[in-house]
Structure formats: C-alpha cells, structure tokens
Amino acid sequence: MPPAPAPPSQRSWEIDAARGLMLLLMTVTHLPTRLTSPLGQPFGYVSAAEGFVLLSAYMAGMVYGRVAWRKSVAEMHHAFWRRALKIYACHAALLLFLFTVIAFIGIRIEQPAVVDLLNFYVRQPFTALVGGLLLLYEPPLLDILPLYVLFMLASPWVMVLAFVWGWRLVMLVSGLVWLAAQFGLSHGVYDSINALVPLPVPFNETGAFVMWSWQFLWMLGLWMGATRNDPNAPAFAFPRWSVLLAIALAIFLMGWRHLVGQIPFHADGPYAPFNPWFDKWALGPMRMVNLFALVVLAIHYGPRLAARMPRQRWLETLGSASLPVFCAHLVLVLVVLVGLGAKYDRPWLQDIALLAASFGVLYAVARATLWLERHQKEDTTPPAVLAPGQKRPPMYPPTPARTAMQPAAQDPPRAKPIPG
C-alpha cells in the first residue's frame, strides 16, 4: 500500500498486483490439489481472503472517496450502489449456475463433493433459491460476495459519517462491533430476528464468514483508502519499535503455521480452547494481530520493494479485473469438484496441469474484461464537435497513448465535499 497520497486520477498498480496475487492464492486454496494445504495461509495465520477484502476496501475507499471529492456525495452514493448491484448480479448468476448445471450433474452422478455442498438445497430447493437471492442462504464458496454487497451498500453512509464526525469514531464503533462478534453477536442477532420473523434458513446455512467481524476489516481498508484522496493527508508511518515488533510477530507466526499446520493447537491437546483466537471466520484476536503485523510491514517496506522489483503486469491484469476473475475462479472450482471430486492425492503432473490451465483461464478472463471495458468506454465517448474549417486530429497520435496502467497527470486538489 502506498505510503503517500495517490493522485486523484492515478490507479495504484501495486494494489492491483497484490489483489492479483490474492486471487491466485485463493484459487490454489479452493482447487483440490496437493498444494492446497501447503499454500493455504502461506504468510502465517492469515489467508488470502483477509488480504483480498482489505485491498478491495482500500480501493473502494480511494476510488469512491475520490468521486465525493471531485463531484459530490450524491455521486458517491450512486457509484457505490451501482457497484453493489453489479456484485449482486454476479452472485445471483453464480447461485443459479450452482443450482442448475452443477446440481444437475453432481446429483445425477452422485458426486459426494457436490452433494455435501448442496445439502440444504437438496432438502429444500425453493427455500434455498429464494433465500440465496435474498442473501440469507449462503452455500460454501458462495458466501463472500453477499458480504461485499452488504458492505458496498453500507459504505457510502459510513463515509458520510466519517466526513462529519471523523474516522476515529467510525473505527471505534467498528472495533466494538468486532469485539462483540467474538462473544456471539452474530448468533444473537439471528435469534432476535428469528423471534420476530421466523427465518426459513437455519443459522448454520447463513454463511461461514461472520459479517459482524469482517466489517471491521472492511472499515479499516475503507478508511485507509478514503484518506489517500486528501492532499494534506500525512503518509502512513510507524515508529521503529512497531516495525521491529511486526517483523518478530510475522516471522514467529509464519514459522509456527508451517511447523504445526493451519490449526495452531491440537484438537485433543490442553491448549485447544485457544484455537478460536486464530479463527478465520470470526477473525479471532491472534489472527488480527498477525494481519496487523503484515499490514505494517507491507506499508513500511512495500514501496521500496515495488521500486526495486520488476512490475508483474500479469498480476496487475488479474487485479484490475478482480470481480470477473473472482467469479471465474469459483466457476472453475465448482466444475473441478463436479468432475474430479475433492481428491487431494492425484499425481503431481495432473495437479500442475490443472493449476496451469486454471491460471490461464483466469488471465484470459481478465484480458477479455479489460478489453471490453476499454472498448465500451470508447463507444460511449461522444465525438468531438469540430468548428467550421477545423481538421480532425489524426487517429494515432505521434506519442504513445497512456494505457490503463500508466499514471495520468495529477489533477488539482478539490474542495472537500459537504455531506448531504
């Protein structure tokens, strides 16, 4: 993450590359291969999901916060809602694909991996379909996009509150909600709603991710991204002692994870009660400590590494089209599960071929998405009106045109919008 404010019209290629890396790690984690376990949570007790959500929130805060700075708060609301609608449409399409193609084939051939995935749908298909479209029923693998929809809908209101009251109050409230989620807030909210309006979807089918915990991660990224649009915003900086502490924690937790495994304490051991502290779904306290340590190191050392390392443009391409690539990776995982099952003992050559083919498909999806977006912008741009006697400029200028990955000239700072 860049330590200095980004120009309002500049796209952060470092963030795109990092998101592309998170997408690849999620693909490796979800595809059943011999690399699933070794590359799951490779940096400690933190998965690619945390990094992807944090980076996506950062980009949302920076991009849509820029809309509020340059245009108006109303335009920011509309931009968030349009994105939420697009994400919902992707979720609905994936849900229908799962309930039709995957369900038909998987149940017909009695594929255990698919039957287990669709256990509730098999028992109550109509309730599952309606509940899925209402974001109540969230089957495995399809339980993160509903979070994105809800976070996108809530984000403009949160940013307006931050404009008025400041981000400290927002983050304080968000942190308290995360703390309450560690003590069963999610189940309590479900029981309260169920007492008023009986819910047809049981609690264990409402998704593995605890929304009340993950909202803190989203708010953190939203705050970090939104503040980058202020020309007077100070750079993200940390005292030396905090960087040294982050290094020690990151090395210790990464070594622990790879020596012991993804579950820090044996289920039958005396320290098993401490496993929830590392829980992924509720973002346990030690998991947040591990994540904060990595964030500090990424902010502190990231710009230096980015300046010295060659740009990985293929990762930038994946990150630039993150939503279509994310959806494509879920389609690939579902197809592999219905065709090959959840087998992790295939020959290495087959696993490598499967991963290589999957990465190739994701890259092709990203390239096609960016090509379509570029041509749609060109098609919707109205032609310039020429004055009498004026000649139309040449189609191909003598200097290379700026690409989507190259920074544009910095726009002059705009006045801070008045909420309302």
Q: Three-state DSSP class for 192?
A: helix
Rounded Cα distance between 65 and 158, Å, is: 11
Confidence of residue 162 (pLDDT cuts 50, 70, 90): very high
Provide the phi-psi class of 355: left if phi over 0, else alpha when psi is between -120 and 50, else beta.
Answer: alpha
* Alpha-carbon span 279 to 62, nearest angstrom: 29
Closest by Cα among 57, 70, 71, 72 to 225: 57
pTM of the entire structure?
0.85
Over the stretch 76-133, which tens digit does the pLDDT of each residue have? 999 999 999 999 999 999 999 999 999 999 999 999 999 999 999 999 999 999 999 9
* d(C-alpha 383, C-alpha 160), whole Å: 36
- Cβ 312 vs Cβ 305: under 8 Å: no
Is the sign of the CA dihedral 27, 138, 277, 322 positive or negative?
positive
Residue listed under structure tokens 């496993």: 275
Q: Break the chain into its structural domains and give their ranges.
A: 13-377
Any idea which residue has 């809602």 for tokens? 81
**What are 261-313's pLDDT values in tens digits?**
999 999 888 999 999 999 999 999 999 999 999 999 999 998 888 888 888 99
Q: Whose CA is closest to 318, among 82, 24, 100?
A: 24
